[in-house]
Every structure is written in structure tokens, then in C-alpha cells.
Amino acid sequence: MRRLSSWVVGLAFITCGVQAQTPASDDPLLESNVAANASGSEARGVLRARDQAVLASELAGRIVELPFSEGESFKKGDTLARFDCSAYQAQLNAAQAASRGAGEELAHNRQLAALKSVGRFEVSRAEARLSEAQAQSQVYQVQVKRCSVIAPFDGQVVARKVQRYESVAAGAPLLDVVDNRTLEIHLLVPSRWMDRLKPGQPFTFVPDETGKPLQATVKRLGARIDEGSQTLLLVASVPDASGLLSGMSGTARFAEPK
């Protein structure tokens, strides 16, 4: 038993010695991080679109039209979704008819008032009924307008949250859309770089997906330093975003300070 215990202890010592001699440079990710920290001029970042949104329903209803699928492009002003608006349209028609009737009643009372056949009170009451009918008509006009979801900018559909013929509640997400022509670079840089980063300063950004260097320019710096990681947000502009997509990540390389 004493010999067996000595053999186990010796094997454990040899194993620990082999692990201690394993170089840290075998880990490629650790190797790249060490190189980036040693150079002091690189930072990781991501491409984000200035114009992106999750479009939601402004009313409850059943979707009858959803013409664009994932990846398809649309233009500003296109109808991205349309609801069944027969009930809202009927209410609008009724409100408009009531408004016309109130207008005719007011005109008739004004004629009678000119002939001294009715008093001022009847005219005022007719004016109030007309104003009420017109306000009700405007409410239903807004409801009918909300039956169509209009594209706020040129872009593409990232994801459809619902499908055609589904009934959704007010506020339910419908479409996730993005404009990949208006991309910015978002970087988290060390806070100690503040004194050497200025708006208008050029640098190079290499997306991992393409490997092609992009010439970027510092647009603005964040308003607060993260106290945990001691990093600061940096937003940069990309002159030419052709062939790029929101969400691409890469490495920014800045010139070494003199």
C-alpha cells in the first residue's frame, strides 16, 4: 500500500508539472487578446444601423396583408402590413354622415335665426352638435389610418413577428426592419484613450466577415465611462456601407500616438 501511494503521488506530480509547462500561447483567442493589449491601438466593435425599428400594431385587429418577407427590400411609404378595417371604416362613414346632417341643421337654424324664427340658443346648440360630429369623424379617420403600417424609411425586413390572417392585440410587434445603408461602427475603447480620440479622427476597421479594411472616422464619444470595465463608447461613421450588414463585428486599428 505504501508503494502504491508513492506511485500515485509521483504520477500526480508529473501531471501537474506537464500542465504547468504548457505554454499559454497555445490558445489562439488568448494570443490575439495579448497582442491587442500589447499594441494598445486595437479595439473590437460592431456595425449598427442608424435607422432600425421594431414596428408594432397601433390597434387590435386581423392582418390581411403582409407583403414583405425576411430579407426583402422596401421603400419609404410602402405598406408593410394592413389590417381588416371594415368595422372602423363603417364607423367613419357613420360619423361623416352625422357630420353632414349636423352641418345642414346648423345652416337651417341660421336661416331661421335671420328671420327671427328661432333664438340664438338653437343656433349655438346646432354649432355644438356639428363640432361634436366633426371631432368623432376625426377620431375614426385616425383609426382607419392606423389600419396600414407604412414604412418609415427605405430598408429591409429582418424578421416577421406575425403571419398573415393572424389577429393581434394593440402594441404587438409586427416587423423588425433595418436600413443597412446607414451603418455606424460602435466600439468600446479603454477610457484611458480619451485624450487621444477626437471627432473627425480617421482609423481602420476590418470586419471579420469580409476581411476588407474600411476607412472610418470618429463621429462622437459616449457620455459616460463604464466603471466596471473602464471602457467608453465610440461611434464612428462609414463613408461606404455597400456590401455590409448590420451586426457585423470586427477590429478597429488606430494609429499609435506619437
Give the pLDDT confidence of 121-162 residue by residue, as tens digits: 888 888 898 999 999 999 999 989 999 999 999 999 999 999
Mean pLDDT of 178-186: 94
Looking at the DSSP assignment, which residues form a beta bridge with residue 236?
Answer: 185, 218
pLDDT over threshold 60, residue 44 = yes
Write down the pLDDT at residue 240: 84
Mean pLDDT across the stretch 160-177?
94
Please tell me the pTM assigned to this model.
Answer: 0.69
User: What CA–CA distance (Å, rounded) separates 167 from 225?
Assistant: 45
Of all residues in the chain, the percent with pLDDT exceeding 70 is 84
pLDDT band at 41 (very low <50, low <70, confident <90, very high): confident
Question: If pLDDT is split at 50, 70 and 90, which confidence band does 40 have?
Answer: low
Q: Read off the pLDDT of each residue in 74-81 and give the average, rounded to a whole number.
A: 96
Which pLDDT does position 152 carry in this prediction?
95
Domains delineated in the chain: 86-145 (1.10.287.470)
Q: Which residue has the higher pLDDT, 183 or 25?
A: 183
pLDDT at 165: 94
* pLDDT of residue 45 exceeding 60: yes
Residue/partner pairs of 67-72 with CB below 8 Å, 24 or more apart? 68/157, 68/175, 69/157, 69/160, 70/157, 70/158, 70/159, 70/160, 71/156, 71/157, 72/156, 72/157
Residues 251, 253, 254, CA angle at the centre, nearest 5°?
A: 150
β-partners of residue 28 are: none
- Mean residue pLDDT of the chain comes to 83
Higher-scoring residue by pLDDT: 196, 16: 196
* pLDDT higher than 50, residue 224: yes
Highest mean pLDDT (candidates 40-44, 98-102, 232-236): 232-236
Q: 209 versus 118: which is more confidently predicted?
A: 209
- Is pLDDT of 33 > 80? no
